[in-house]
Structure 1
Amino acid sequence: MSASLAGLVLSPALTGAVLLLAGRRADRAAGPVAVVVTGVTVALAALVAVTRPRLSAPFLGIVEGGDLRLVVDGLSAVLVVLVTGIALLVTAFAVADLPTDAARARFFGYLLLFVAAMLATVTAATLPALLLAWEVMGATSYALIGFRWEEPGKLAAGTTAFVTTRAGDLGLYVAAGAALAATGSLGLADLNTSGGGWADLAAAGVLLAALGKSAQLPFSAWLSAAMQGPSPVSALLHSATMVAAGGYLLIRMQPLLAATGWAATAAAWIGALTALVLGAVAVAQSDLKQLLAASTAAQVGFVVLAAGVGATAGGTAQLVAHAAVKAGLFVAAGAWLTALGTKQLADLRGAARRYPGMGAAVAVAGLALAGIPPLSLWATKDEVLAGVDGTALHVVGLAAAAVSAVYAGRILVVVLARPAGEEAVDREEPGTRQIPTTTTAVAGVLAVFAAGLGVLAVSAVADAWKVALDADGEPSPGLGDLLLSGVLALVVLGLTVTVARVRPATVHWIQRSPLASWAGLRHVLSPRPALALARVMAAVDDRLIDRVVTSLATGAGRVARQAARADDGALDGAVTGLAWATRRAADGSARVDAGVVDGGVRATARIIHRAGRAARRPQTGLLHQYYVQAVVGLGFLLVLLLVVR
């Protein structure tokens, strides 16, 4: 079944690449093709969620865990179904929402590549696979946020998001280095076995990357800039994919966070504080998309909190429920922006009455966002808070949940209100147009899920959910906890509606507060300081480093020329003279060898040869001659003996 997993990732990736290569020629077919492909990925996601396949491709063969490995387990099974389901609905919305003259092939090409990267991210089992998917996701998100690059501010918004998230992404490379040094492996599961300081370094890297991707404190402000992107981009990137990726990573790496201790505590507090602070920022917004962006960071804060306290099932449920709720609200914001030409809350008064179908979907999603029973985020927040051990952290979590009812109430009180001085709403008001049926249907489907996931409050369903995620044994909220949070949400929502109607000056005062500018986070993490630093470093490089390098190169050239002259004039002469002398000695040696040694050898051989011939003459074979020779020899010896004596 590994082919189904390969098809899940490759079908959107390859289709997206083809659309990008085809360019404007494929604009007309791009939308339908994207819908078909995302529909196929939904079917494949359902298949792999049941069969749980594995897939591996060689990459870094010299390192254990260096392959591109994808694995579907309980957590990734939930995420692939979530991502593909939201992608299909958002793609259908984009087909209806994008202008007819837009570069649709480019948009849907990047969108499909982004979906493929997110699917690879949630199934990655090794760091190389995760890093590759993480990088593609970041690059395509930049292209999608800055899709209308020719309009002022759009490209800068994409740059802000890209630079901020990339700063956090460096943490993953730090974690990979720590894992390799500590365990010799790049497997994600092996990160948990890192010991000592390496585990701390790996946990810090993972935490940094996740906080940056999920727009948690102090990285939250990039999400504000990202709202410059098209509405379908906001509906996808900031509900179930990019912003959710950091929360998913922390849930996946929860054993590593727990092993270090401090990392789990840091994640829990950062998540809780983000939920509270960014919730307050959302309350102060006058722009609907900005409100939804700040509330996204706040709601994902509960996921990060869950990862810190070990509430894996609760964090995953929060991730899924938030995706359905927030995707529906972003679809509505985009639809109203296209139809009414505004995203300012003041100008959206009565929008739900003007478009009843969309208004009903927004009402359900807004009540779910507020944590009203029995809707989804009421149940999932309590699942998260059930794992919190500590009064202070629990109080902060409850306060953040109460604030969510405030910003959700701000949306509902505006869009459900009757326009001032009007008894009825004219749906054909000049300057407006109807919302496509497809868009309303998408918002309706998401609203159904936003309401239906409240079933997680039923203990039997919650227990089955934990078993599916291999998280059985995690604590669940009691009836008292559920009643407390539900009553708190109802009371706060009622107070919000009352204050908005009776004391509108209070709302205006909040909108003029520092919270409206994202509590100053835009200035703290603006890309301008980074760009200014880059310009300074470029000047240093041009005026100092380049000059030093050029001077060193010039000096090296001069030294090389002097060395060449020394080589030609001295070394080559010495080598040539030595070779000439050696040759002369060899010639003399050859003459001695030929004239003396060879001559002596030849003379000795001639003498021996002549002696041999002389010795052969007496050998006649005649017996009497041998007797004569013997007599002569004996006589010679006798004479010699007499002489010597």
Structure 2
Amino acid sequence: MTAEVASAVLAALVLVPAGAGAVLLILGRRADRGAGPVAVTAALTAAVLAGTAAAARPEASAPFLGMPGGELALAVDGLSAVLVVTVSLVAAAVTVFAVADLPGDAARARFFGYLLLFTAAMLATVTATTVPTLLVAWEIMGATSYALIGYRWEVPGKMSAGTTAFLTTRAGDLGLYIAAGAALAGTGTLALDDLASAEGAWRHVAAAGILVAALGKSAQLPFSAWLSAAMEGPSPVSALLHSATMVAAGGYLLLRTEPLLEASGWAGSAAAWVGALTALVLGAVAAAQRDLKQLLAASTGAQIGFVVLAAGVGVTAAGTSQLVAHAAVKAGLFVVAGAWLTALGTKQLAGLRGAARRYPLVGAAAALAALALAGVPPLSLWASKDEVLAGVDGGVLRVVALAAGALSAVYAGKILAVVLAPVDADTHLDSEERGTRRVPRPVTGVVVAFAAAAALLGAVALPGVADRLKSVLGAEGEPSPGPGELMLSGVIAVAVVVLVVRRPTLVAALERTELLRWAGLRQVLTPRPWLALARAAARVDDRVIDRAVLSVAAAARRGAGRVGRADDHVVDRSVVSLARAVGRGAGRVGRADVDVVDGAVRAFASAVLRAGAAMRRPQTGLLHQYYVQAVVGLGALFVLLIVVR
């Protein structure tokens, strides 16, 4: 494949879903009937193009800002190759699920249009090599997520949920603009790979901006609660947004800019701690939920926390494997939750009791995905989580991460305890009712495919596979867990799952705590605390700052009055007196000049004038007078000579 063809493939990878989505949005309801097939075709085409691009590793660019690194540039390296395949495959599967899940009378063209644009934005995000490209994709992803979460805008609460998610992530996104400015000031270019070489304080500013933007997008502390609001969106949106796209984007960004985090020093440690604490806190929140989608949402933030932890400690291969494994597991579980919501009309855990027994094939796939989420060997998240933990040095951070890993088994076990429970007699469905509420075959196929991926990705624990992944990512030399660590984590996960399944009441106690309401994190996203903070700041301003300013102003005014009076009575009088004395002295000097100096000059001039006139008298021009004058002069000299002698 030539470089030109490879570049065209890379451009088509983004433009095919983006173009198809734009066309569907423009046509609107007129395209509802054909929107599903068009979306599936575009998503499958993108998956094929992703595989081709991953193998060819192409580059593509177009002029944009006219400065170094200011072009719209895409490229596929090892990390991008893994992510484009993951994103495109998950998006294609979720699109198939959406075709079967959406009601027939829904605005399908609008839904699939936004879904395809959302997918294209994520594909551009993971292949962007310049900050402008990343910003464009980042913004489109945020805007389309708002439209997708609030898709059923006519239902109360849907639009406000989309607004909450949008504004929260937008608050974090400001960090990306700050990072862009720091990159330009510190490096003179907007290339992502040059961020780590920013000079001086600009490197720290760029690291802070990237960190804030990533934490907001991935719903890490303190931005976590927007995940709860996002559950108001349709099930396919939850399945895509929480698995391989928007929530994963922040984790990906930190993996991409890991050299910057390391170069700054503090940013890597900050990311590691935020990731570990998010995994712990949201793990506890997930264990306390009564709503399956809320449980899965909290667990999404918790699992992505391990990706953020991996980026913070510098194990990019482990973070990537965690990102991919989580995408498969969580997409499968969200599809299951959506399928059961459509079939059974509830997402409450109490209403899903025995759901796996009612739908055996879907239930088996859901159980397998839940076991993978718990970290049970030999499934995917068992291996990837231990890869992350292998990069964490001993100490408090490792203890927090281990506790968060154990909580994964708790909330996964809670799902299993409910869906595997015997069906109550009063909720049993007869054959006729079962026929009208069956899970469509395409949805079953999607669930089974995700469950298979969740199981097979556990191969990353095999030394050969793990080494190959590190080679692809250019992460050779990163630590790997030993057999003892893998066995210990597997035993803990199995023991916790068995305990929770056998004694579900142990976890039920958490439902009566503040953890059920997301540990108060939702309050961070409501106006109340900010209004209270504003009122407190206003009181401080009125009672402290204003009073201090007024006191300073009054003191300054009094001081100015004293200075003014001193100026009037002392300085001004002194200046006036001095001026008068100088005037009098000048008058005397003037009169002396006129009467003495000028008189003397005039007298001398008059004397010289008279002498000159006297000197002219002998000059008569008569020769006999000159002789007489000579004789008189010589006689006078003779007399003087005689007298003197």
The question of a shared fold, defined as TM-score above 0.5 by the shorter chain, is answered with: yes
Could you tell me how far 1:526 is from its partner in structure 2?
2.2
Corresponding residue of 2:411: 407
Corresponding residue of 1:621: none
- Pick aligned residue for 1:168 from 165, 172, 180: 172
Residue 420 (1) aligns with residue 463 (2): no
Q: Contact conserved, 1:163 with 1:527, CA < 8 A, in 2?
A: no
Could you tell me how far 1:508 is from its partner in structure 2?
3.8
In the alignment, the residues of structure 2 paired with residue 532 and residue 499 of structure 1 have an alpha-carbon distance, to the nearest angstrom, of: 42
- Pick aligned residue for 1:478 from 474, 482, 492: 482
Change over 3 Å in CA distance of 1:81–1:532 after alignment to 2 = farther
In the alignment, the residues of structure 2 paired with residue 480 and residue 126 of structure 1 have an alpha-carbon distance, to the nearest angstrom, of: 42
Corresponding residue of 1:525: 525
Specify the SS of the correspondent of 1:69: strand
**Structure 2: which 5+ residue stretches go unaligned?**
1-5, 536-645
Residue 180 (1) aligns with residue 184 (2): yes
Residue 29 (1) aligns with residue 29 (2): no
Change over 3 Å in CA distance of 1:490–1:169 after alignment to 2 = same
Q: Contact conserved, 2:175 with 2:211, CA < 8 A, in 1?
A: yes
In the alignment, the residues of structure 2 paired with residue 512 and residue 430 of structure 1 have an alpha-carbon distance, to the nearest angstrom, of: 34
In the alignment, the residues of structure 1 paired with residue 336 and residue 324 of structure 2 have an alpha-carbon distance, to the nearest angstrom, of: 19
Residue 54 (1) aligns with residue 59 (2): yes
Q: How does 1:179-578 map to 2 (within 5 A)?
A: 179-421=183-425, 426-429=430-433, 433-500=437-504, 504=505, 506-526=506-526
Specify the SS of the correspondent of 1:228: coil
Q: Contact conserved, 2:523 with 2:529, CA < 8 A, in 1?
A: no
Change over 3 Å in CA distance of 1:364–1:427 after alignment to 2 = farther
**Structure 1: which 5+ residue stretches go unaligned?**
536-645
- Pick aligned residue for 2:77 from 61, 68, 73: 73
Residue 45 (1) aligns with residue 50 (2): yes
User: How large is the RMSD of aligned CA atoms in angstroms?
Assistant: 1.9
- Tell me the amino acid that sits aligned with residue 43 of structure 2: T
In the alignment, the residues of structure 1 paired with residue 153 and residue 533 of structure 2 have an alpha-carbon distance, to the nearest angstrom, of: 24
Could you tell me how far 1:498 is from its partner in structure 2?
2.2
Could you tell me how far 1:499 is from its partner in structure 2?
1.9
Q: Deviations over 1:482-509 (max 9, x none)?
A: 0110011011111111221xxx3x4443
Q: TM-score, normalized by length of structure 1?
A: 0.81
Of all paired residues, the percent bearing the same amino acid is 71
Q: Contact conserved, 1:306 with 1:384, CA < 8 A, in 2?
A: yes
Could you tell me how far 1:357 is from its partner in structure 2?
1.1
Q: Deviations over 1:417-440 (max 9, x none)?
A: 112348976454479611100001
- Tell me the amino acid that sits aligned with residue 25 of structure 1: R
Specify the SS of the correspondent of 1:55: strand
Specify the SS of the correspondent of 1:374: coil
Deviates more, 1:339-348 or 1:523-532: 523-532
Deviates more, 1:418-427 or 1:431-440: 418-427
Q: Deviations over 1:362-406 (max 9, x none)?
A: 011000000000000000000001111132111111111100000
Corresponding residue of 2:640: none
Specify the SS of the correspondent of 2:274: helix
In the alignment, the residues of structure 2 paired with residue 428 and residue 82 of structure 1 have an alpha-carbon distance, to the nearest angstrom, of: 39
In the alignment, the residues of structure 2 paired with residue 498 and residue 391 of structure 1 have an alpha-carbon distance, to the nearest angstrom, of: 33
Count of residues in Structure 1 that have an aligned counterpart in Structure 2: 532
Specify the SS of the correspondent of 2:119: helix
In the alignment, the residues of structure 1 paired with residue 219 and residue 460 of structure 2 have an alpha-carbon distance, to the nearest angstrom, of: 27
Deviates more, 1:384-393 or 1:85-94: 384-393
Specify the SS of the correspondent of 2:342: helix
Q: Contact conserved, 2:357 with 2:423, CA < 8 A, in 1?
A: no
In the alignment, the residues of structure 2 paired with residue 42 and residue 423 of structure 1 have an alpha-carbon distance, to the nearest angstrom, of: 41
Corresponding residue of 1:605: none
In the alignment, the residues of structure 1 paired with residue 258 and residue 431 of structure 2 have an alpha-carbon distance, to the nearest angstrom, of: 51
Q: Deviations over 1:217-263 (max 9, x none)?
A: 00000000000000000000110000000000000000000001110
Specify the SS of the correspondent of 2:377: coil
- Tell me the amino acid that sits aligned with residue 79 of structure 2: L
- Tell me the amino acid that sits aligned with residue 59 of structure 1: F
Q: Contact conserved, 1:340 with 1:431, CA < 8 A, in 2?
A: no
Q: TM-score, normalized by length of structure 2?
A: 0.81
Specify the SS of the correspondent of 2:290: coil
Q: Deviations over 1:297-336 (max 9, x none)?
A: 0000000000000110000000000000000000000000
Q: Which runs of 4+ in 1 moved over 4 A?
A: 421-425, 527-535
Q: Contact conserved, 2:315 with 2:478, CA < 8 A, in 1?
A: yes
Change over 3 Å in CA distance of 1:105–1:261 after alignment to 2 = same
Residue 9 (1) aligns with residue 36 (2): no
Q: Contact conserved, 1:159 with 1:527, CA < 8 A, in 2?
A: no
Q: Deviations over 1:81-137 (max 9, x none)?
A: 000000000000000000000000000000000001000000000000000000000
- Tell me the amino acid that sits aligned with residue 65 of structure 2: L
Specify the SS of the correspondent of 2:61: strand
Q: How does 1:69-148 map to 2 (within 5 A)?
A: 69-148=73-152
Specify the SS of the correspondent of 1:281: helix
Q: Contact conserved, 2:381 with 2:458, CA < 8 A, in 1?
A: yes
Corresponding residue of 1:18: 23
Could you tell me how far 1:510 is from its partner in structure 2?
1.3
Specify the SS of the correspondent of 2:29: helix
In the alignment, the residues of structure 2 paired with residue 80 and residue 69 of structure 1 have an alpha-carbon distance, to the nearest angstrom, of: 15
Deviates more, 1:519-528 or 1:227-236: 519-528
- Tell me the amino acid that sits aligned with residue 24 of structure 1: R
Q: Contact conserved, 1:375 with 1:452, CA < 8 A, in 2?
A: yes
In the alignment, the residues of structure 2 paired with residue 221 and residue 528 of structure 1 have an alpha-carbon distance, to the nearest angstrom, of: 15
Q: Contact conserved, 1:282 with 1:407, CA < 8 A, in 2?
A: yes
- Tell me the amino acid that sits aligned with residue 26 of structure 2: L
Could you tell me how far 1:533 is from its partner in structure 2?
10
Specify the SS of the correspondent of 2:467: helix
